[in-house]
Structure 1
Amino acid sequence: MKRSVRNGLVVAAAVALAAAVVPIVTSTANAAGNLSATFTVDQDWGSGWGATYKITNGTSSAINGWTLEFDLPAGGQITSFWDADVVRTGQHYVAKNKSWAPTLAAGASISWGMNGSGAKPPINCKINGVVCSGGTPTSNPPSSNPPSSKPPSSNPPTSNPPTSNPPSGSKKVVGYFAEWGVYARNYHAKNIDTSGSASKLTHILYAFGNTTGGRCSIGDSFADYEKAYTAAESVDGVADTWDQPLRGSFNQLKKLKAKYPHLKVIWSFGGWTWSGGFTQAAANPAAFADSCYSLVNDPRWAGVFDGIDIDWEYPNACGLQCDTSGPNAFKNVISALRSRFGSSKLVTAAITADGTNGGKIDATDYAGAIGNLDWLMPMTYDYFGSFSAQGPTAPHSPLNCYAGIPTAGFCAETAINKLKSKGIPANKLLLGIGFYGRGWTGVTQATPGGTATGAAPGTYEQGNEDYKVLKNTCPATGTIGGTAYAKCGSNWWSYDTPSTITGKMSYAKSQSLGGAFFWELSGDTSNGELITAVSNGLK
Structure 2
Amino acid sequence: MSRSRWGVAAFMVGALSVSLAPLASADADSNIQGHGHSRAKAVGYFTQWGIYDRNFLVKNIVDNGTAARLTHLNYAFGFLDEKGSCISADAWADWQKPFTAEQSVSGKADEPGQALNGNLNQLKQLKAKYPKLRINISLGGWTGSKYFSNAALTAESRAAHVKSCVDMWIKGNLPGLPAGAAKGVFDGIDLDWEWPSSEGAPGNVVRPEDKPNFTKLLVEYRKQMGWSRDLTAFLPADPVQVDRGFEVRRVFSLLTFGTLQGYDYHGAWDPTANQQSALRVPKGDPSEFEFSSQVTVDAYLSRGAPRSKAVLGVPFYGRGWTDLANVNKGLFQNGPAAPATYEAGYEDYRILKTKLDAGFKVYRDERAGFAWLFDGKTFWTYDDPTEMKRKARYITDRRLGGAMIWSLDGDTPQGELIKALSSGLS
Q: Alpha-carbon deviation of 1:354? A: 0.6
Q: 1:48 to 1:514 in 2, by over 3 A?
A: closer
State which structure, 1 or 2, has the greater radius of gyration over its C-alpha atoms.
1
Alignment of 1:116-515 (within 5 A): 147=36, 170-213=39-82, 214-283=84-153, 284-296=157-169, 297-298=171-172, 299-320=180-201, 321=204, 323-326=206-209, 327-355=211-239, 359-364=240-245, 365-388=247-270, 391-405=271-285, 406-444=287-325, 445=327, 446-452=329-335, 454-474=336-356, 477-480=362-365, 481-515=368-402
Partner Cα distance (1:323, 1:531) in 2: 36
Q: 1:9 is aligned with what amino acid?
A: R
Describe the superposition over 1:96-151 as per-residue Cα deviations: whole angstroms up to 9, x where unpaired: xxxxxxxxxxxxxxxxxxxx97xxxxxxxxxxxxxxxxxxxxxxxxxxxx75xxxx
Q: 1:235 is aligned with what amino acid?
A: V
Describe the superposition over 1:7-30 as per-residue Cα deviations: whole angstroms up to 9, x where unpaired: 32269xxxxxxxxxxxxxxxxxxx
My pick for the range that moved more, 330-339 or 425-434, is 330-339
Whichever structure has more strand as a proportion of its residues is 1
Partner Cα distance (1:174, 1:48) in 2: 17
Q: 1:196 to 1:169 in 2, by over 3 A?
A: farther
Aligned-residue sequence identity (percent) comes to: 38
CA RMSD of aligned residues (A): 2.0
Query: What residue is the counterpart of 1:113 in the other structure?
Result: none
Describe the superposition over 1:51-82 as per-residue Cα deviations: whole angstroms up to 9, x where unpaired: xxxxxxxxxxxxxxxxxxxxxxxxxxxxxxxx
Describe the superposition over 1:281-313 as per-residue Cα deviations: whole angstroms up to 9, x where unpaired: 111222111111111122111111000000011
Mapped contact 1:335–1:369 kept (Cα < 8 A): no
Q: 1:375 to 1:10 in 2, by over 3 A?
A: farther
Describe the superposition over 1:138-183 as per-residue Cα deviations: whole angstroms up to 9, x where unpaired: xxxxxxxx75xxxxxxxxxxxxxxxxxxxx9700000000000011
- 2:18 equivalent to 1:9: no
Partner Cα distance (2:213, 2:377) in 1: 45
| Alignment TM-score, normalising by the size of structure 1 | 0.68
Q: Which has the higher contact order (CA 8 A, sep 6+)?
A: 2
Mapped contact 2:140–2:191 kept (Cα < 8 A): yes
Q: Alpha-carbon deviation of 1:463? A: 0.6
Q: Alpha-carbon deviation of 1:468? A: 0.6
Query: What residue is the counterpart of 2:18 in the other structure?
Result: none
**5+ residue gaps in structure 1?**
1-6, 12-45, 50-115, 118-145, 148-167
Whichever structure has more helix as a proportion of its residues is 2
- 2:405 equivalent to 1:524: no
Query: What residue is the counterpart of 2:26 in the other structure?
Result: none
Q: Alpha-carbon deviation of 1:419? A: 0.6
Query: What residue is the counterpart of 1:135 in the other structure?
Result: none
Partner Cα distance (1:224, 1:392) in 2: 38
Residue aligned with 2:68, SS: coil
Mapped contact 2:31–2:227 kept (Cα < 8 A): no
Q: Alpha-carbon deviation of 1:318? A: 1.4
Mapped contact 1:224–1:248 kept (Cα < 8 A): yes
Aligned length: 379
Q: Alpha-carbon deviation of 1:367? A: 2.1
Mapped contact 1:476–1:484 kept (Cα < 8 A): no
Mapped contact 1:282–1:325 kept (Cα < 8 A): no
Q: 1:436 to 1:487 in 2, by over 3 A?
A: same
